Chains A and B, each alone.
Chain A
């Protein structure tokens, strides 16, 4: 199973952009990059996913390096409700449908 590496924690001020990095140097050509987040006392919540091209949705943007060995989740304007643990996950395109979570990045947002 391909692994991801994320910083244990990050801090941001409210209304500032946040860039959450993820390294995945052993990614295979068919692995998709997924991001989930988990708010306190809740189950994980899907944020965004991509393969090669950068992706945008209403929650965030995903920037993927050209060699695909790293990616960055971008929250354009952090709010207090964005305080959560963010997980970067490589999801295989074939054979299995499980998500393999690491320990994620705990994001703190200050008013």
Chain B
């Protein structure tokens, strides 16, 4: 178990460019989550997948954002036409199926830090 892996760790890009981040969850974890965190704030939920199905999307996920998990394993988060306000840490997490009750803990990666020039 190598934990949740996110690449790249840092991304610097110019406003208006497209960026794509990758998340590799813990193997055999069916659920995968994306969050965004700005300085001094807690993470904000963006979306999550059960296998390849995207089950919930936040209103924060504008039409410039798209997330995929094509084979139910790794996931990508793409931001098109980046804006200054997109500068943040993008966190990925994974967990086994929810199961009963309180839910399985979510295991987080260390994030991709996006800086928009």
* Residues of A near any B CB (own CB < 8 A): 32, 34, 41-46, 49-51, 85, 87, 91, 93, 96-104
Say yes or no: A96 contacts B56, CB within 8 Å.
yes
The B interface, classified by DSSP as helix, strand, loop or mixed, is loop
The residue of chain A having its C-beta at the shortest distance from the C-beta of B47 within the complex is A98
Closest CB pairs A-B (n = 4): A101-B42, A43-B108, A46-B105, A32-B102
CA distance A42 to B107 in the complex (A): 12
Say yes or no: B48 contacts A97, CB within 8 Å.
yes
Q: List 15 A-B contacts (CB under 8 A).
A: A32-B102, A34-B103, A43-B109, A44-B43, A44-B106, A44-B108, A46-B105, A46-B107, A97-B56, A97-B103, A98-B33, A98-B48, A99-B35, A99-B45, A101-B35
Say yes or no: A103 contacts B101, CB within 8 Å.
no
Say yes or no: B44 contacts A43, CB within 8 Å.
no
Say yes or no: B102 contacts A34, CB within 8 Å.
yes
Q: Mark B20-45, 1 if CB is under 8 A from A, else 0.
A: 00000000000101010000111111
Say yes or no: B102 contacts A91, CB within 8 Å.
yes
Say yes or no: A101 contacts B31, CB within 8 Å.
no
Q: Mark B84-117, 1 if CB is under 8 A from A, else 0.
A: 0000000101000010011101111111000000
State how many residues of chain B have any CB contact under 8 Å with chain A: 27
* Chain B residues positioned under 8 Å from A45 (CB to CB): 108
Picked from A44, A49, A101, the residue with its CB within 8 Å of the CB of B102 is A49
CA distance A64 to B81 in the complex (A): 46
Say yes or no: A104 contacts B111, CB within 8 Å.
no
CA distance A34 to B48 in the complex (A): 18
Q: Knowing A98-B48, A103-B40, say if A43 contacts B4 (CB, 8 Å).
A: yes
* Chain B residues positioned under 8 Å from A103 (CB to CB): 40-42
CA distance A50 to B101 in the complex (A): 10
Picked from A32, A85, A93, A99, the residue with its CB within 8 Å of the CB of B106 is A99
* Chain B residues positioned under 8 Å from A34 (CB to CB): 102-103, 105
CA distance A99 to B44 in the complex (A): 8
The residue of chain A having its C-beta at the shortest distance from the C-beta of B102 within the complex is A32
Picked from B48, B55, B91, B102, the residue with its CB within 8 Å of the CB of A43 is B91
Best-surrounded residue of B4, B31, B45 (most CB of chain A within 10 A): B45
